[in-house]
C-alpha cells in the first residue's frame, strides 16, 4: 500500500511541474510618442486604461475606460463608479456600459486626444 502511495505521489509531483515560459509582456507602445496613431501601434496584448475622478462637494464619481484591440478594431469598455448616498458614506454603485467597437480606419479616435492636448497647450 505504501508503495502505491509513493508511486502516486511521484506521478502527481512529476505532472505538476510546469515548463511554461513565464515572461512578462513588455509593451513597446509609447503614448507620448505615438498619440496621433496609437491604435495602429497597439497589439492585441496592449491595454490602455483612462481613469478620471470627478468630485464635487458631496458627490463623487470615477469613470474608467479600457481601450483594447482585437482583430484590428478598437474596443472600449466604460465603467462608472458613483457614490449614490450623497452623504460621503462611499455607497459606491458600479455600472458597466455596453462595450463599444470602433473600426477607426481614419484615426479619428486619436484625433480627439491630440486636439484636446493641443487646446490645453494653447491655454
What is the per-residue pLDDT for 13?
Answer: 65
What is the per-residue pLDDT for 8?
Answer: 65
Residue 118, H or E segment: helix 108-122
* Domain boundaries along the sequence of the chain: 29-122
What band does 95 get if pLDDT is binned at 50, 70 and 90? very high
What is the per-residue pLDDT for 28?
Answer: 85
Q: Using the predicted structure, report yes or no on whether residue 33 has a pLDDT greater than 90.
A: no
State how far the Cα of 61 lies from the Cα of 14, in Å rounded to an integer: 51
Once rounded to an integer, what is the mean pLDDT over residues 68-87?
86
> Could you read off the pLDDT of 43-60 as tens digits, one per residue?
899 998 999 998 887 778
Amino acid at each position: 500500500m505504501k508503495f502505491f502511495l509513493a508511486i502516486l505521489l511521484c506521478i502527481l509531483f512529476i505532472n505538476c511541474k510546469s515548463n511554461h515560459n513565464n515572461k512578462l509582456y513588455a509593451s513597446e507602445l509609447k503614448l507620448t510618442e505615438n498619440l496621433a496613431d496609437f491604435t495602429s501601434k497597439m497589439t492585441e496584448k496592449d491595454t490602455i486604461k483612462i481613469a478620471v475622478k470627478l468630485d464635487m462637494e458631496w458627490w463623487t464619481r470615477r469613470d474608467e475606460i479600457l481601450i483594447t484591440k482585437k482583430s484590428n478594431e478598437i474596443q472600449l469598455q466604460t465603467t462608472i463608479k458613483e457614490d449614490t448616498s450623497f452623504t460621503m458614506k462611499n455607497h459606491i454603485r458600479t455600472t458597466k456600459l455596453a462595450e463599444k467597437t470602433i473600426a477607426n480606419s481614419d484615426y479619428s479616435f486619436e484625433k480627439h486626444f491630440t486636439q484636446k492636448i493641443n487646446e490645453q497647450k494653447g491655454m
